[in-house]
Structure 1
Amino acid sequence: MGPSTILVADDDRAIRTVLNQALLRLGHDVRVTGNAATLWRWVQDGEGDLVITDVVMPDENGLDLLPRIKKLRPELRVIVMSAQNTLLTAVKAAERGAFDYLPKPFDLKDLMGMVERALSTPQPAPPAAAGAAAAQAEEEALPLIGRSAAMQEIYRVLARLMGTDLTVMITGESGTGKELVARALHDYGKRRNGPFLAVNMAAIPRELIESELFGHEKGAFTGATVRSTGRFEQAQGGTLFLDEIGDMPLDAQTRLLRVLQEGEYTTVGGRTPIKTDVRIVAATHRDLRTLIRQGQFREDLFYRLNVVPIRLPPLRERTEDIPALVRHFFGLVNQQGLPLKSMDNAALDRLRRHRWPGNVRELENMVRRLAALYTQEVITIDVIEQELADFAPAAAPAEEPQNEGLGAAVERHLKDYFAAHKDGVPAAGLYDRVLREVERPLLSLSLIATRGNQIKAAHMLGLNRNTLRKKIRDLDIQVVRGLK
């Protein structure tokens, strides 16, 4: 690649000098300026093969200059630099046609690599607009907060995905904000005018998942007195967020894989294929590769979902974002009527040293308690120490209630299922679907206990042998004889 002319606009003299020297060493011709007006004049005169511009300059915002550059010279690549390192900056740069976005302070080697890519890669098709409403949003209203290097990389990836329908897999510990990322992909993307539906696989009884996702026809099973729409149908034209995808049962995984492969599905009890137009965003806190090795998750489904992987870092890996998060959460609770508070430096330092097993959710809950329970305007380290001591986890927390009866376990499970529905009302036919969920493991375990002997299993259950056979067939239970 021969020498190119690169136009640099930045109001910081030191940055202009560094970039000028680095680009000259690579053999390029360089023109530098400290204002947007001069840069625009050069562009109008047809100068330059590449533009590197800051966002904040004395006479005009570099992002506001971008649309005029792209309209006049759509082939001219523009790299945007900014110290305003938020998701909104990255989205604005992407939607207005920037080749790439680099937060300040930047690594010079990274920028030089970006320059070489900008000068050598083919010109892509113009990206889809992410919408005027997103461009007018303020940082405080953004779903993601933080300017750490880890968050900057997430912002850049999200900005590149806004104009696409690529399937995304979000991984991260509980409380890191996986649903916030999914909502950002939807709210700033081309499906923003469509619905956004979130489904938590872990909160739905396993036997009800297929009906929940795909709907069912009238008469599909006992109690299905009306047709019920599923989440795929409800999310048509929008985004379907499948949270905790690692908890999806294998039979539902098979149906989901078919939807992703063929772009259509059938309702439970239905025969007519239904075309689907839904963007899938999945998320999990579990290691899906381990589940694949254990036979609990389909490998082919994993690769269908993992088209674009996004890993959300735990809060302990981006503790430099804690002050901004604290300010953000104090602002939110103030809007809800609680007094506005702040935190002194010693208290913030103590928060940075905490391990945060509950991640951002744990921090938000703490801030809400501080705003509600303490009278002082400035929270000090003594308060933080007391909070961390009061809410420290027990040494050996029980995973589930001890000595819990079957009825109590079922009730607890069903409460989670009802809570997972926004209006608290699940789809019709709930009674029979719940009975099927209890019946299937009961029959399966009985057959395992009797090593597949249906006569013994029927006797143990108190059922007629023909009735047991019919239930095995209806519930699609696999009977393996001679189990040990």
Structure 2
Amino acid sequence: MRKILLVDDEVKLLKIISSALEKKGYRVYTAPNGYEARRTFNEKNAEIVFLDLMLPDINGLELLQEFNRLYPQKVYIIMTAYGDIPSAVIAMKEGAFDYLVKPVRLDEIVVVIEKASQWLKMKEENQLLKEKLIDIEKQSELIGTSLAMKRIFHLVERVANTDATVLIQGESGTGKSLIAKLIHDLSERSKGPFVSINCAAIPEQLLESELFGYEKGAFTGANSSRPGKFEAANGGTIFLDEISEISPSLQAKLLHVTQEKAFMRLGRSTIRNVDIRIISATNRDLKKMVEQGRFREDLYYRLHVVDIYIPPLRERKEDIPILAEEFLNRQRKRYNKNFQISKKIIETLTQYHWPGNVRELENAIERAVVLCRDQWLSIEDFPREIRDSRYENLVQESFPIESENNKPLPEKLEEIEKQFIVQALEESNGQAASAARKLGISRQSLLYKMNKYLIDPK
């Protein structure tokens, strides 16, 4: 039961109300003035405070402002005479939860206490959910500080403690399965199983038995009964990845499961009921597939109660540096070696378009670590596509198609060549021999060009 503080200069009223509330199981404290209210509030840590507006040593509105500034998470209810209602309205603007007009009845007080208790419970649950989200984010592979990712985390937080079906959409490698697992971990089903199945990885003729299970003798080779993924997920969450790949006939059966939370094993006529939450994901445009008649519209809307779209990495480039550092840190722990990456390489990674999204970035960092000669990662340790993207960017910067630069072609080519040389020298820390190898020319040729373009190796 909640701790309640009653502040009123009518001592007889305090005794009557506190006695009645204690009989209902509440822990009640009283104070006849502002001084006693401060002392009791601090000592007893009351959660719900009833404040009379007219106290002998202080105005109740001033006390409300003081308490609310120090303890904004508490609930404050104002008690006032009929003529002081305008002051009560002001108190509401200052943060009061509600107000009661004297003389107050016990049933009115109980109703307000119940409403306040529900509000406090909701706030406490939200706070616990936020703390749990932060904790899971720290342990999860899901990382991102971009506005897009913050919106996703906020949506996950809001939907987690419901049983609504969720459809996660986004390109391959964006982290759809991680979002699904995060929703499960934040939900009240987190102690139950999280069962994941890739619908595209299982042949169509086997997928139905994988999902629903089968009885002995249901088909050739069914030598024993076997439960399916839906049974395995009972009490928890089932994650249907690549949902767009299931056949029309299986879509009809899946629709029944999403509606009724019931199904039949292959080879059996009795219905099994399950308590599950369904989360699905796809890298295709399901809405377009519905319009083309390739995906059932009724199933689409059953799966699409809550839609979460994860943008590709190229649309949230501000996440690339923090992701690269996180992946590099994992490799540091794995090899017990302090790998480092230069700011210049981070800039190159940020400019790359990442068709494979976060998964490609993680693989690129792992490759660079494996090929690294010392603790500092070199651009040469990264995949060819990333290395080549540097020069594509340089050409676009030096010789944009839309440019109205009227310089002759030889001068434009010299500008490009000069930028390539500067780039190679920066990546080689000013060492001409290393830069020449990167450029595929001799050291003597490089020195000649440096002298020609007045390039300082430092």
TM-score, normalised to structure 2's length? 0.59
- Give the deviation of 1:139 after TM superposition: 4.7
Letter in structure 2 aligned against 1:40: Y
Superposed, 1:167-186 pairs within 5 Å as 167-186=165-184
Q: How many pairs align?
A: 300
Q: Does 1:346 align with 2:326?
A: no
Q: For the Cα contact (< 8 Å) 2:165–2:306, is it kept in 1?
A: yes
Counterpart in the other structure of 1:287: 285
- Give the deviation of 1:279 after TM superposition: 0.6
Q: For the Cα contact (< 8 Å) 2:369–2:381, is it kept in 1?
A: no
| Higher share of residues assigned helix | 2
Question: Which of 110, 126, 129 is equivalent to 1:97?
Answer: 126
Q: 1:226 to 1:138 in 2, by over 3 A?
A: closer
Question: Which of 212, 215, 219 is equivalent to 2:213?
Answer: 215
- Distance in 2 of aligned mates of 1:295 and 1:367: 42
- Give the deviation of 1:333 after TM superposition: 2.2
- Distance in 1 of aligned mates of 2:205 and 2:233: 21
- Distance in 1 of aligned mates of 2:315 and 2:67: 37
- Distance in 2 of aligned mates of 1:137 and 1:372: 30
Counterpart in the other structure of 1:278: 276
- Give the deviation of 1:143 after TM superposition: 3.5
- Distance in 2 of aligned mates of 1:50 and 1:189: 34
Deviations 1:201-255 (A, max 9, x none): 1100001111010001111112211111100011111110000000001111111
3-state SS of the aligned residue for 1:190? coil
- Distance in 2 of aligned mates of 1:161 and 1:337: 38
Q: For the Cα contact (< 8 Å) 2:196–2:241, is it kept in 1?
A: yes
- Give the deviation of 1:386 after TM superposition: 5.5
Q: For the Cα contact (< 8 Å) 2:365–2:382, is it kept in 1?
A: no
Question: Which of 155, 158, 165 is equivalent to 2:153?
Answer: 155
Counterpart in the other structure of 1:164: 162
- Distance in 2 of aligned mates of 1:45 and 1:236: 43
- Distance in 2 of aligned mates of 1:95 and 1:370: 45
Q: For the Cα contact (< 8 Å) 1:346–1:381, is it kept in 2?
A: no
Question: Which of 241, 245, 262 is equivalent to 1:243?
Answer: 241
- Distance in 1 of aligned mates of 2:357 and 2:67: 41
Counterpart in the other structure of 2:37: none
Counterpart in the other structure of 2:367: 369
Greater than 6 Å deviation, 4+ residue runs? 75-78
Counterpart in the other structure of 2:70: 39
Who wins on radius of gyration, i.e. which is larger?
2
Deviations 1:36-59 (A, max 9, x none): 9943179466566587xxxxxxxx
Q: For the Cα contact (< 8 Å) 1:244–1:284, is it kept in 2?
A: yes
Question: Which of 223, 226, 230 is equivalent to 1:225?
Answer: 223
Q: For the Cα contact (< 8 Å) 2:263–2:273, is it kept in 1?
A: yes
Q: 1:380 to 1:238 in 2, by over 3 A?
A: same
Identity %: 40
- Give the deviation of 1:326 after TM superposition: 1.0
Q: For the Cα contact (< 8 Å) 2:170–2:312, is it kept in 1?
A: yes
- Give the deviation of 1:161 after TM superposition: 1.2
Q: 1:173 to 1:40 in 2, by over 3 A?
A: same
- Distance in 2 of aligned mates of 1:44 and 1:189: 27
Question: Which of 163, 185, 188 is equivalent to 1:187?
Answer: 185
- Distance in 1 of aligned mates of 2:73 and 2:254: 53
Range 140-149 or range 361-370, more displaced:
140-149
- Distance in 2 of aligned mates of 1:214 and 1:42: 48
Counterpart in the other structure of 2:329: 331
- Give the deviation of 1:327 after TM superposition: 1.5
Q: CA RMSD in A?
A: 3.6
- Distance in 2 of aligned mates of 1:141 and 1:36: 37
Q: 1:137 to 1:369 in 2, by over 3 A?
A: same
3-state SS of the aligned residue for 2:299? helix
Q: For the Cα contact (< 8 Å) 1:266–1:274, is it kept in 2?
A: yes
Which sections of structure 2, spanning at least 5 residues, go unmatched? 1-60, 78-90, 96-112, 391-458
Q: 1:138 to 1:247 in 2, by over 3 A?
A: closer
